[in-house]
């Protein structure tokens, strides 16, 4: 279920994400097959992923949703999209890849980067659905 979000809320959320990343209070879930596959398929490092997350802006926001896993329903997950030009690992082909990024910021004490992988479906930016979202 998509939840409403203001530009200011997402800007504040990303500031908290950057703080946790800079303090090393995070985990990139490399156990997830889709996440591991991105790093195997393209020339991208975990540090590159962290740098990408550090540079997300409210313009990259797609939606926020309630965690659906039993016992974790109180958590809100934030989803972002980033289009990147990546080099395929075993070729000389570079292509634009839409990256699906999903965060769980646990009580502002620890960040889990649940998803950092190639998008499996079209990801619409929040600003495409809510034109008044971005303030110029």
Query: What H or E segment, with its residue span, contains residue 133?
Result: none
pLDDT 10s digits, 90-122: 998 999 999 999 999 988 899 999 999 999 999
Q: What local confidence, expressed as pLDDT, does residue 95 receive? A: 94
Helices (H), 1-136: 7-22, 33-41, 46-54, 126-129
7-129 CATH: 3.30.2310.40
Query: What H or E segment, with its residue span, contains residue 82?
Result: strand 76-87
Structure tokens, 131:
């034109």
Question: How many Cβ atoms sit within 10 Å of the Cβ of residue 15?
Answer: 9
Does the pLDDT value for residue 45 go beyond 60? yes
pTM equals 0.91
């Amino acid at each position: 279920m998509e939840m409403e979000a203001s530009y200011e809320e997402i800007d504040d959320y990303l500031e908290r994400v950057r703080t946790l990343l800079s303090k090393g209070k995070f985990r990139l879930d490399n156990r997830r097959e889709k996440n591991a596959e991105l790093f195997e398929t393209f020339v991208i490092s975990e540090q590159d992923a962290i740098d990408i997350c550090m540079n997300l802006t409210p313009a990259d926001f797609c939606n926020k949703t309630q965690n659906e896993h039993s016992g974790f329903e109180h958590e809100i997950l934030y989803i972002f999209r980033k289009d990147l030009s990546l080099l395929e690992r075993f070729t000389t082909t570079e292509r634009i890849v839409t990256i699906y990024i999903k965060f769980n910021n646990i009580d502002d004490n620890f960040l889990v980067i649940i998803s950092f992988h190639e998008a499996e479906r079209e990801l619409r930016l929040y600003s495409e659905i809510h034109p008044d979202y971005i303030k110029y």
